[in-house]
Amino acid sequence: MTKIIHAEPTKELFIEMLVRDIPLKRAILDLVDNSIDGATKLNNSDYSDFLIEIELTEKYLKIKDNCGGISIDVAEKYAFKFGRVHSAEETPKSIGKFGIGMKRAFFKLGNKFIVESKTTTSSFVIEENVEEWKNNPDWTFKFKEIQEDIHNDPKNIGTLIMVDELHNVVSSNFKQENFRSGLKEELRLAYSLIIQRGLQISFNLNQLICNPLNFRISSSIKVAKTEEVIPFFDNKEQDSPVNIKLYAGVSDRRLESGGWYIFCNNRMILEADQTEITGWGDGLPKYHADFAYFRGYAFLESDDAANLPWTTTKTGINEDSPVYKSLKLKITKITSPVLTFLRKMETERSSVNQGELDESLLANDYEKTELKSFFEIDESGFCNRFEIPEESNRSSTLRYKTITYKKLVEEIEQAKNLLSVQTNKEVGERTFEYFLNQEGDN
Amino acid sequence: MPSSYTKINYSLRPAKAIERKMICDSLFALMPFGKLKDYKYIGFGSTYFVDFSLFHKVLHIQDMVSIEKDSHAEKRFEYNKPFSCIKMKYGLSNEILLQLTWDKKVIAWLDYDDPLNNNVLDDVKNVISNIISGSVFIISVSCQEDYPPDRNEHDYSLEQINNFKKNKISERISPENIPTNLKDRDLSGKNLGQLYGRIIKNKIEEIISILNSTLTPNKQFFYKQIFNFRYSDGAKMMTIGWLFYTEEDRCIANQCSFDQPFNHEQDEPYFIQVPSLTLKEQQFLDAYMPIILKEEQEKQELYQKIQQEICISKKDVESYAKIYKYFPSFVEMVI
């Protein structure tokens, strides 16, 4: 008899292991992603009919939407399945793709979850106790209620997700005011593009306002824009190409806001990235205070979410993805001229401070820029390549800088005697000249 | 550090001058890709612009960009610019290369005085990720070995010297760009140039593989090495050059005949050796050129005759025979 090795997964893998890979706030975003995918399926250009209400207390998390609900067929075959099913019907431009987010979020948050769904023709309720489910050898969830071939009022369709009996650590986080503020901000950022397109999200009854992506522009300082379609990767022509739009320019000087923002299918996955992932210190100089004016927005879209370079936690980039690697080259290319401009502007400014320049033309140009929401900028605000405006003219080929340092009075007097000079200034100049005469090349 | 133009007049470096003419001569092979005058030349012109003058006059290239890091002597560069078609771009090559437009075929010759370092590798990356099919990329770096500056006063052991060399390399080149199986002997003599060549090639491979991973097969990039020079006008220098083409242009690339003896596709470099000859000697030798057409016995007799008549060794005559068409003549002129 042939011996075989059993490699079936354990429930603990899902309940206790995979949950470690995702931060708590992001797990909640995974649940919201489901609602958004529901809306995207119904209308992926205008979201103004859709509403997602998030309620979070130290006892439970509730997410209620009017985004179409889950059909019984989808619930049976895909929604609760661990992992992606290839035969699943695609929702173009969806966010969820890996078949892991919702279940992982349930396990991460608490011991009990309830999913109530109403479509136009069906309704169901699933209620599960995770501890009991873990001890049950079956990999099934049971419908608590189910109704098919009915007529639900279109006003009432949607999904309600509730996680109860929260884990202690989750509950103590949910209790903290700052956790809630942080989560609210994360929601605002992650969905800012979709909120911009009309989606209403409320968090503990507060309506979220989108985080305005912005640039400062003028007639001489514009936003560099490139657009490209990648139809071929992983050694094959893709049915769903990836569309990449990159925008790079300047905005207000804010140290924590400078950097690259990356969106996949309208969901932000990297916020103000200042690391090697977007080329800082790897192709571009390392991020530092002079670059706090920089803003870059990358929008990646594909009908097939699996083609986008995100990780299953959607907190980051899948760095092995060819799309990402080629994106990184493009990012370096579009970013570099903006950084050159910022570096030159700082050099000019410090020359002005040191009295070597009367005025900085670059800084003047920057002062003339106006803050604009990204969505308000029309074609005249964009260009293919960031152009550096005219620089201040350094007329003289001889340039001077000032050196200052402190020395003991007695020593300075001694030097004055040795040099036969009267003033401290002369001491400085003569000792410097003496040094260069002795140690310099000529 | 002062730029090298303040120290050396480029046109007086004989091996460099020969290399420049050989490169210029070879570039005619690009004809299948279209007229040379439609190319853009990108280089480091310094104040002498020798390569610019040559490529403009001989290849008729008229879209030329000179990158100059010394932005404080702008007027001097503008003054020395020999032709109006040369555009000056002031700043570091790392930055300038990314500000250029790359919509046409280029011949980019980044001719550094420095040894290979991360900035050079960044430039390699920036050029490769931007050029289009039919472009030529040439890079020159110093491949002079590093020695402790006080080695004449101290008795350093071989091991200490090797460690010194290793430290120098790792100061300039980050670890992910250094081959894993680096050995002491890779850092000495001719091998250092081989190592640099390998590091540059690895970088090109890395970038090309990223580019190709999102390109349809007929748009994918390939390259072939066309130059691999070594020479020394004091410090040891190396120059490597490649032709880049896409799969759909492969036939055109194959028609480009880079088939001169100095077009080295292989890792083994072509050494430019410049014998020290007076003008009178050169003219004497010229009368016997080309030697290559002669029979072996006839050659040997000729070497002997030259040795007897004007005391020039066979070795020098052989070296001269390889480069006589490109041999520069320098005359001091009293004005």
Query: In this prediction, what percent of chain B has a pLDDT beyond 90?
Result: 74
C-alpha count within 13 angstroms, C-beta hemisphere, residue A389: 22
CA distance B104 to chain A (A): 16
**CB-CB neighbors (< 8 A) of A325 in chain B:** 210, 213-214
Q: Do B129 and A233 touch (CB under 8 A)?
A: no
Q: Do B98 and A333 touch (CB under 8 A)?
A: yes
- Identify which of A234, A283, A340 has the shortest CB distance to residue B125: A283
Instruction: Work out the average pLDDT over B86-97.
Output: 93
CA distance A395 to chain B (A): 9
Q: Do A325 and B99 touch (CB under 8 A)?
A: no
**CB-CB neighbors (< 8 A) of B95 in chain A:** 336-337, 339-340
Q: Do B214 and A332 touch (CB under 8 A)?
A: no
Q: Do A323 and B125 touch (CB under 8 A)?
A: no
Where do the structural domains in chain B lie, given as residue ranges?
Answer: 4-145+189-271, 279-326
All CATH 3.30.230 domain ranges in chain A, comma separated: 214-383
Q: Do B91 and A325 touch (CB under 8 A)?
A: no
* CB neighbours of residue A156 within 10 Å: 11
pLDDT value at residue A381: 93
∠ at Cα B214 (B208, B215), nearest 5°? 80
The pLDDT-based confidence of B291 (bands split at 50, 70, 90) is confident
| Sequential DSSP letters for B160-225 | HHHHHHHHHHHHHS-GGGS-TT--GGGGSTHHHHHHHHHHHHHHHHHHHHHHHTTS-GGG-EEEEE
pLDDT value at residue A441: 73
The pLDDT-based confidence of B78 (bands split at 50, 70, 90) is very high
Residue by residue, pLDDT tens for chain A (442 residues) are 689 998 988 888 888 888 888 899 999 999 999 999 999 999 888 999 999 999 999 999 999 999 999 999 999 988 888 888 777 777 788 887 677 889 999 999 999 999 999 999 999 999 999 999 999 999 999 999 999 999 998 888 999 999 999 999 999 999 999 999 999 988 988 998 999 889 999 999 999 987 678 999 999 999 999 999 998 888 888 889 999 999 999 999 999 999 999 999 999 989 899 999 999 998 899 999 999 999 999 999 999 888 999 887 777 788 889 999 999 999 999 999 999 999 999 999 988 888 778 889 999 999 999 999 888 899 999 999 999 988 877 654 456 677 888 999 999 999 999 999 999 999 999 999 999 988 887 6
Q: Which residues neighbour A148 within 8 Å (Cβ) at sequence distance 6 or greater?
A: A72, A121, A122
Q: Do B126 and A326 touch (CB under 8 A)?
A: no
Residue B328 predicted with pLDDT over 70: yes
All CATH 3.30.565.10 domain ranges in chain A, comma separated: 11-207
- Identify which of B122, B129, B216 has the shortest CB distance to residue A329: B129
CA distance B118 to chain A (A): 10
Interface with B, mutate which of A307, A325, A351, A384 (most B CBs under 10 A): A325
The segment with the largest mean pLDDT, out of B71-85, B234-248, B295-309, is: B234-248
pLDDT tens track for A370-392: 999 888 899 999 999 999 988 87
Instruction: Work out the average pLDDT over B227-250.
Output: 95
pLDDT value at residue B2: 41
- Identify which of A340, A385, A397 has the shortest CB distance to residue B72: A397
DSSP3 helix / strand / coil % (chain B, rounded to 5): 50, 15, 35
Residue B4 predicted with pLDDT over 60: no
CA distance B193 to chain A (A): 24
**CB-CB neighbors (< 8 A) of B4 in chain A:** none
Residue of B nearest to A331 (CA): B98
Q: Do A232 and B216 touch (CB under 8 A)?
A: yes
> Which is more confident, A341 or B329?
A341
Query: Is domain A11-207 given the CATH code 3.40.50.410 in the classification?
Result: no
pLDDT value at residue A354: 80
Rounded to whole angstroms, how far apart are CA atoms A149 and A362?
Answer: 68
Q: Do B95 and A337 touch (CB under 8 A)?
A: yes
Instruction: Work out the average pLDDT over B46-57.
Output: 94
Annotation: CATH topology of B4-145+189-271:
Rossmann fold (3.40.50)
What's the distance, Cα to Cα, between the start and end of chain B in Å? 32
pLDDT value at residue A293: 97
Chain B residues contacting A via beta carbons under 8 Å: 71-73, 75-76, 91, 94-95, 98-99, 101, 122, 125-126, 129-130, 207, 210-211, 213-217
Interface with A, mutate which of B98, B123, B177, B214 (most A CBs under 10 A): B214
Phi and psi at A421, nearest 5°, equal: -125, 170
SS3 per-residue string spanning B263-328: CCCCCCCEECCCCCCCHHHHHHHHCCCCHHHCCHHHHHHHHHHHHHHHCCCHHHHHHHHHHHHHCC
| ipTM surpassing 0.90 | no
**CB-CB neighbors (< 8 A) of B73 in chain A:** 397
In contact, B247 and B222? CB cutoff 8 Å: yes
CA distance A238 to chain B (A): 10
Q: Residue B294 corresponds to which amino acid?
A: K
CA distance B215 to chain A (A): 5
pLDDT value at residue A277: 93
CA distance A273 to chain B (A): 21
CA distance A336 to chain B (A): 6
* CA Rg value for chain B: 21
The CATH code of domain A214-383 reads 3.30.230
pLDDT value at residue B215: 92
pLDDT value at residue B260: 92
pLDDT value at residue B155: 85
Instruction: Work out the average pLDDT over B110-133.
Output: 95
pLDDT tens track for B160-214: 999 999 999 999 999 999 998 888 889 988 899 999 999 999 999 999 999 999 9
